[in-house]
């Protein structure tokens, strides 16, 4: 469980949004599921997050135990970040935001999202979420083993 101090409300929605409700946190969580693991990986995402904001969000995600890191065995100056179980448990929210955005936003959808929709259009929500989480856990284990 995530220890929360000085929250402004006893409502789980309000307190959860204090942790993950800013403009960047869920984008970073999404990027973990896209195979990003290093600071440089996160910087290369198309949203162009500023380095100071990226550093702040990574610290915040660690504070709330949504991510951890290990040092890259080939270059001990490079941190390889990975999601904890609490971070992985955010995937259904990411999935639902993807679907909500596709169904409700009048905008051109990028190639990565289009590919995701094509691969998963005939699957049920639960199956798609389970597959994504299992894939991420395998990916995470490959990071932790090396």
Segments making up each domain of the chain, as ranges = 12-145
Closest CA to 60 of 90, 102, 18: 18
Residue 8 near residue 38, CB atoms below 8 Å? no
β-bridge mates for residue 69, sequence order = 81
Q: CATH number of the domain at 12-145, out of 1.20.120.530, 1.10.10.10, 3.40.50.620, 1.25.40.90?
A: 1.10.10.10
pLDDT band at 8 (very low <50, low <70, confident <90, very high): confident
Phi, psi of 67 (to 5 degrees): -135, 160
pLDDT in tens, 53-63: 999 999 999 99
Place of tokens 């500023």: 50
- Can you tell me the distance from the alpha carbon of 39 to that of 79, in angstroms, rounded to the nearest whole number? 7
The verdict on pTM exceeding 0.75 is: yes
What is the average per-residue pLDDT within 24-35? 96
pLDDT band at 92 (very low <50, low <70, confident <90, very high): very high
For residue 39, the Cα-to-chain-centroid distance in whole angstroms is: 13
Distance between terminal CA atoms of the chain?
28
Mean pLDDT (the chain, rounded): 93
């Amino acid at each position: 469980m995530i220890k929360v101090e000085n929250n402004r409300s006893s409502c789980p929605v309000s307190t959860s949004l204090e942790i993950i409700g800013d403009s960047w946190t869920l984008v970073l969580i999404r990027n973990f599921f896209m195979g990003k693991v290093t600071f440089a990986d996160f910087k290369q995402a198309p949203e162009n997050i500023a380095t100071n904001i990226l550093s702040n969000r990574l610290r915040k995600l660690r504070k709330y135990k949504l991510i951890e890191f290990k040092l890259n065995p080939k270059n001990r100056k490079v941190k390889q970040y990975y999601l904890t179980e609490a971070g992985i448990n955010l995937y259904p929210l990411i999935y639902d935001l993807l679907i909500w955005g596709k169904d409700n936003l009048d905008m051109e959808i990028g190639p990565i999202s289009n590919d995701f929709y094509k691969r998963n259009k005939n699957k049920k929500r639960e199956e798609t979420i389970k597959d994504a989480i299992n894939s991420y856990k395998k990916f995470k284990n490959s990071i932790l083993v090396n």
